[in-house]
Amino acid sequence: MSSSDHTITLTGFTIEPLVVPDSVDAADAADFVGFATVRNAVEAEQRGHTGEVMTAAELLPDWKDESRQMAGLVSKVDGRVVARANLALPAGAAECWGAVSVLPEFRGRGIGGALYDRLEQLAREAGRTTIQNQSTYPAGVEGEAIPAPTGFGAVPLGIPSTRFLRRQGFSLEQVGRISALPLPMDPDVFSAHLAAAVAAAAGYRTVSWQGRTPEEWVESIALLRTRMSTDAPNAGIELTDVWTAERVRAVDDLWAASPRVALTSIVVEEATGQAVGFTELDVSTESDRPAEQMDTLVLREHRGHRLGMLLKLANLRELEARFPGCVLVETVNAEENLPMLEVNDALGFTAASFSARWRKVLAEPAS
């Protein structure tokens, strides 16, 4: 039996395995809804704003993605979910990703440490040699900070997430910037940037769609998503994320049953007909949360033609046309990813908060 398969009772609180329901309306969905509530409250606290708040219904598809095993835990006080933990175990990887959130009024009771101990035990049972974490924090925090080993960005020492992760033995690997763009864009600014990008991108064209990947581009999307794990700046973070056509289709199916919608734009080299870059936006159809910029990548061998700018503009045009009620887009970029940050700055994105990626070695990989 796995260490997450039973309830643990400690002084003043319990830790229980998370039940993943078929839907958020199912009879057994209460803990999952509580899990989402804690996640969102702590994420909003850490960012200093309600950016990546997602409803339980929006989160549920991620827990049904068979390409990565997910394990979840909830901690309760008097029957109320007051903390959550989850572990993502990508297939075929040595690394995993863990997260722990405790509501502010229930901190200092040992709940977060107890949840983390269970996550690390699960990671070891799964044979993972590294556990990684991504935390967020607001802009403008003063005081002593830890510089990222990349030489770009620093994380405040005094915030709860930094103190917690350092106690658990994590080391800082990378700092990212969370930027926000108000919508709609100024049409004159948009047109000027689009004209310049089109002129620099002679020999390339964009293709955009909402939702399911068109059949002719399934293999290309699988390749581009896989290249995100090798071509994007990841500092000391381990990232194993192999995509196949079958996985693309499986995730398309999950999103089809979700209140979230993906908007995708690719850039195609005219001479070869090959997709050489892509960008994706995650848009909620149920809430007024900001659209989340997901992956953006131009293959290394095709950089230098303003294709990143062209992709961003193409997808923003689709977003404004299809979802005119959306008033904000958020994106995360590594602080050392200067070319993409320059694109964002030119479009009008401004820093809203920051993220940090952390890593802890559990065991040296077998030789």
Q: Which of 334, 341, 349 is nearest to 175 (CA)?
A: 334
Decide: 211 and 255 in contact? Cβ < 8 Å. Answer: yes
Task: Tell whether pTM > 0.85.
Answer: yes
**To which H or E segment does residue 73 belong?**
strand 68-77
Would you state the pLDDT for residue 33?
97
Q: What is the mean pLDDT of the chain?
A: 92
Instruction: Tell me the pLDDT of the chain (367 aa) as tens digits.
Output: 354 567 777 779 999 999 999 999 999 999 999 999 999 999 888 887 655 578 899 999 989 988 889 999 999 999 999 999 999 999 889 999 999 999 999 999 999 999 999 999 999 999 999 999 999 998 888 899 999 999 999 999 999 999 999 999 999 999 999 999 999 999 999 999 999 999 999 999 999 999 999 999 999 999 999 998 888 788 889 988 899 999 999 999 998 988 899 999 999 999 999 999 999 999 988 767 789 999 999 999 999 999 999 999 999 999 999 999 999 999 999 999 998 899 999 999 999 899 999 999 998 765 5
Would you state the pLDDT for residue 305?
95
- Which CATH code is given to the segment(s) 184-326? 3.40.630.30
Residue 194 neighbours by CB under 8 Å, 6+ apart: 310, 313
Would you state the pLDDT for residue 101?
96
Q: Which of 247, 302, 246, 297 is nearest to 272 (CA)?
A: 302
Answer CATH for 8-175+357-361 from 3.40.190.10, 2.60.40.10, 3.40.640.10, 3.40.630.30: 3.40.630.30
Would you state the pLDDT for residue 1?
33
Going by their DSSP bridges, the two strands 154-156 and 145-147 should be labelled as: antiparallel
Name the segment(s) of the chain with CATH classification 3.40.630.30.
8-175+357-361, 184-326
